Structure 1
Amino acid sequence: MSEETDSGTAAPDERWGQCSSRACPLLGTVGRGGQWWCFCHFEADAGEADTVTRIVRSHRAIYTATLDVRAHVGADDWPRVYRSVQQRLLDAGHADLLPCELDASPYRPGRPIVQQWLARLERFLLDAVRDGLRRIAAQAATESGAGPRTPPPSSRDCVARMRATLAPLAKREASAQWAFDLLERIAAKPTNAPPPEAVRCALDAVGSPAGRAYAASATDTQRARWRAALQVIGSSAAAAMPSREPGEDDEEPERVTG
């Protein structure tokens, strides 16, 4: 039987590693005031602790999923636990929280990353807690006649707004001038490589019709530098700028037939 302390929190040897809030099932992952709290209780006031715990426990399939993922990922029994967690989420009506494209890297689409999936599960719990506390605060303010306060946006709202802001930028293509300027910088400082996303955009621009036309109009020296830069970043696109043999681009004189 678990021994309780005067504050209502289980003794340290019984709840080692868990959130310091009473009866909270989550792990203590954030330190504050000499104690460890879960990500849901960390921002909560002392008077909201029990309410936060009730909200977390109302989503049993999700909070147990986060615990199982943290405890078993990489272990020998991970495949069995992985299937069990997914079935639990389906039974609870949360098919939207199964691993999917949202959890994949933009560089490897179609292959969900477990850490990304775990973050999405935990974000669901955090949003549920914040939404629940806002509703309670709004109801209390209405009953007191003070009117509801404007709540801060949830992380889900922030992500949606960020995606809407960045969506138009995703449709813009990099110019050939920008791509070859980037190759010039790589050639000048090979050890100072740009981020992978910038490299990807540059390679797309280099391989485009505009990029090939830009390369064709360059000098031998420029094309040699760009080819060296492409080899630095390990790209097969170096073939986009083959070395030019003497007279290769010269037009052949018309043959006069008598």
Structure 2
Amino acid sequence: MTVPASAQSCDEIVAVAYKGSDRGSLTIRVNEVTLLRESSSGMANFVPPNLLLEGENTLSIELAARDGGAPTAAAEVFKGCRGEMPKDPGENGNVLGTVALDAPGTDSTTFTVTGLPAYSYLSAMPSDDAGLLEAVAGLVETARNKDVDGYFAHLQPMLHDFALDDPQAPEMLRQMADYLFGQASEIVEPGALTATPVLGGRAYQVQDAEGNAPLQFALSVDNGTETLWQAGVWMKTADGWKVLRH
């Protein structure tokens, strides 16, 4: 990716470019939110960190060996232009922070972001997770009943935040929901869930035993089924627990 000299010439975004190893499992987190979980690929790629904080943020990687291998990994957070393919770690411009490992272990760094829109979570206070898993179960049951309005009532913080970036985003999310609920799909029971504080306790990431988000649509496709996972990050609001991000 060639980063323009002036941010005014592109729709600027923050992204994390990374490269792992087929001899190891790479996990990437920004502000404790898991962006990539146990990836075992040597191909370079990138992920968008969609829950940034105003001011200091943390990028961390965790690398585990597979089958006695000696893996390496690197990741860098940088500013680029939306729609342009990032380069491999070490080749991008406007880098904000870099982490690297030449053996299994962990590495982290901090980086600074300013000028964020008024995202809902930025003004949230840290909280405990009392009532969170009950709220998750309520959303799962709402989806099982194909209650689209009830489903969207759970997504208010996410809808608010997405609209700040793109006024058309809420309508696109509704079209996606209409598609999902109109399909021959099954809501899978996620089993035991864990809730991990992220964003300094402002929100919680909810995952099943495999690390997947708790609302799970099993969609019928030509060769069987495909699963879509949603509702991975939650925050406590004045109206109770709501979905902050899929």
Aligning the two structures, in what range does the TM-score lie when normalised by the shorter sequence?
under 0.3
Q: Of the two structures, which has the highest relative contact order with CA contacts closer than 8 Å and spacing of 6 or more? A: 2
What TM-score, normalized to structure 2?
Answer: 0.22
What TM-score, normalized to structure 1?
Answer: 0.22
Q: Point out the structure with the larger helix share.
A: 1
